[in-house]
Amino acid sequence: MKRNTGVLAAAATLLAALFSSPAWSDWQLNMPVGVTTISREVYGLHMLILWVCVVISVLVYGAMVYAIVKFRKSKDAQPSRFTHNTKAEVLWTSIPAIILIAMAIPAAESLVRIEDTTESSLTIKITGYQWRWHYDYIDDGVQFFSSLDRESNAARRRGSGIDPESVPNYLLEVDNPVVVPVDAKVRLLVTAGDVVHSWWVPDFAVKKDAIPGYINESWFQATEEGTFRGQCAELCGMDHGFMPIVVEVVSQEEYDEWLAERAQPALTLAE
């Protein structure tokens, strides 16, 4: 008895340590709520459908466990011998069909909104390369490459002697982040210059394949300012893990300033 209490106490301590550890936040299982209109909608749908599935699972497995226990062999259970039951068949066909349709309607509405890139206030063409991203603000003549930042790049080399833990945002930092204004509908034209990549920012609920010769469209409208990070989500070769994405959502004024600064060197060159 005493030994059992000891084991229980140790297990409780271990669990408590596990759940209170700061590292626990890295093990978040659910998808992020995100910061865009669509990401919140996707999260809401995901939770709704998850709970529908939970209720169905509880009912189905509950009935199964009940039947296993109640009609077990040791109780000398006798099976019924009927072969057809129209009422039961109608019920177990129509109820799942109704549930599926009820889930499909809001999901289809969201899908239509996800694909609707009209009325955007800004268009960015994104091109994936082995192993960096190229961004082209096609209405404003601003374009640049965005690569893994120097610090991460140095630390990732074999035998660099640099502790990755000491590098802030290791493998998730770039030299030139994408900058967009808050609340603006940003249309994305996604393509690639060599092999297939995928532009993925979880907080925006955007993951779009970048395919050579094709242009895929997507959009987002971030309603919060901040720095949001993503990665290439399509295995594209040796350095697939080293082409992160950083998007800075800023106020309209900051965006205008950034745009003016960015456009300057191009003008000087042209002159």
Q: Supply the minimum distance, in Å, between the C-beta of residue 156 and Cu ion.
A: 15
Does residue 233 interact with Cu ion by CB under 5 A? Answer: no
For 143, the 3-state DSSP assignment is strand
3-state secondary structure of 245: strand
236 contributes a contact to Cu ion by CB under 5 A: yes
Q: Does residue number 208 form part of the binding site for Cu ion (CB under 5 A)?
A: no
Minimum distance between the CB of residue 243 and Cu ion, rounded to whole angstroms? 5
Q: How far is the CB of 180 from Cu ion (least distance, A)?
A: 21
Report, in Å, the least distance between residue 91 CB and Cu ion: 49
Residues making up the chain, counted from first to last = 271
Nearer to Cu ion, 180 or 232 (CB): 232
Residue 229: name the closest of 190, 267, 201 by CA. Answer: 201
Phi/psi for 57 (5° steps) reads -60, -45
Hey, what are 4's tokens? 């059992």
**Non-local CB neighbours of 172 within 8 Å, separated by 6+ positions:** 152, 229, 231, 244, 246
Residue 132 within binding range of Cu ion, rule CB under 5 A = no
Count the site residues for Cu ion by CB under 5 A: 3
User: What is the pattern of x (binds Cu ion, CB under 5 A) and - over residues 14-53?
Assistant: ----------------------------------------
Instruction: Report yes or no: 230 and 199 within 8 Å, Cβ to Cβ.
Output: yes
Q: Which is nearer to Cu ion, 122 or 126 (CB)?
A: 126
- CB distance 181 to 247 below 8 Å: no
Nearer to Cu ion, 40 or 156 (CB): 156
Q: Which is nearer to Cu ion, 236 or 249 (CB)?
A: 236
Of the candidates 143, 147, 111, which has an alpha carbon nearest to the alpha carbon of residue 232?
147
To Cu ion, the closest distance from the beta carbon of 132 in angstroms equals: 9
Q: Which two tokens stand for residue 186?
A: 């940003």
Separation CA 42–CA 64 (nearest Å): 32
Binding of residue 232 to Cu ion (CB under 5 A): yes
Beta carbon nearer to Cu ion, 185 or 197? 197
Question: What is the closest distance, in whole angstroms, from the C-beta atom of residue 129 to Cu ion in the complex?
Answer: 8
Phi, psi angle pair for 202, to nearest 5°: -55, -40
CB nearer to Cu ion: give 194 or 248.
194
Q: Select 187 or 197, whichever has its Cβ closest to Cu ion.
A: 197
Distance CA(75)–CA(92), nearest Å, equals 28
**Interface positions, 172-201, toward Cu ion (CB under 5 A):** 197
Q: Which residues bind Cu ion (CB under 5 A)?
A: 197, 232, 236
